[in-house]
Amino acid sequence: MRKLKIVPNEYYHIYNRGNNKQGIFVDDKDWSRFLFLILYLQSPFVFYNIGRYINNFVRHRVFNISNRLLDKIIQNKTVELVNFAQMPNHFHLIVEEAIEGGISRYMQRIQDSYTKYFNTKYEKTGHLFQGPFQIVHIKDNEQLLHLSAYIHRNPREITQWKDKEHQFEWSSYQDCIGKNRWGEFIKPQIILEQFTTSEEYKDFVDTSGTKVILDKELLLDY
């Protein structure tokens, strides 16, 4: 049982990595599927044949979900996703608990669904992730801002994305400084409304993303 009590209207840093630091994304469909899960499992709605949405995204960079279904998900969200970054062997999310138990159900569905998909596709068994997801309460606004910057700088660790992290497809950074690809499915306003322009936020990420005010989890060797 977790020692941390997760309560509504509070913000949390959620992260996990592959078991034994193994990669959790092998090809474009893997990256796309995890993205689909973190965006659209924010409500209890059950998707069938997710593969067709993924195939459409791989071809056209849109999931092609009907507006009726999107509205249904938005109206029944149990969490609010603020921002995210997917990395080759781990991920980071900032999430607000919208209703009691929302984050726990959200993350259980994401990890269970993705693990089942991954193990079936690659003929593996056992744990994909290094145990249950890790979660830290974000205690104040300063921590929230610097954590957002830290997450959006994370893709710099990938050689080909160093100094181009604002273009990295698998994070919400480009959605915060340009056109939001996901509409109501990410809610970065609590961060962005504290900056006058998107360039001001980008400058903040560039200069402040490494400030060590976060929590001990960021000292992990990912």
**How do the pLDDT tens digits run along the chain, 222 residues long?**
567 899 999 999 999 999 999 999 999 999 999 999 999 999 999 999 999 999 999 999 999 999 999 999 999 999 999 999 999 999 999 999 999 999 999 999 999 999 999 999 999 999 999 999 999 999 999 999 999 999 999 999 899 998 899 999 999 999 999 999 999 999 999 999 999 999 999 999 998 745 444 444 444 444
Token pair listed for 183:
């509409």
The CA–CA distances, whole Å, from 27 to 10, 20, 63, 80, 210 equal: 34, 19, 17, 27, 29
| Helices and strands in the chain, H and E counts | 8, 4
What tokens does 107 get? 């993350």
Q: Give the domain ranges of the chain.
A: 11-217
**Domain at 11-217, CATH homologous superfamily:** Transposase IS200-like (3.30.70.1290)
Residue 92 phi, psi dihedral angles, 5° rounding = -130, 140
Instruction: Give residue 3's pLDDT.
Output: 77
Token representation of residue 47: 């998707």
Q: d(Cα 205, Cα 165) in Å, to the nearest integer?
A: 10
pLDDT at position 220: 44
Question: What is the crossing angle of helices 28-40 and 50-60, to 10°?
Answer: 120
pLDDT of residue 207: 86
Q: Give the separation between CA 6 and CA 40, rounded to whole angstroms.
A: 21
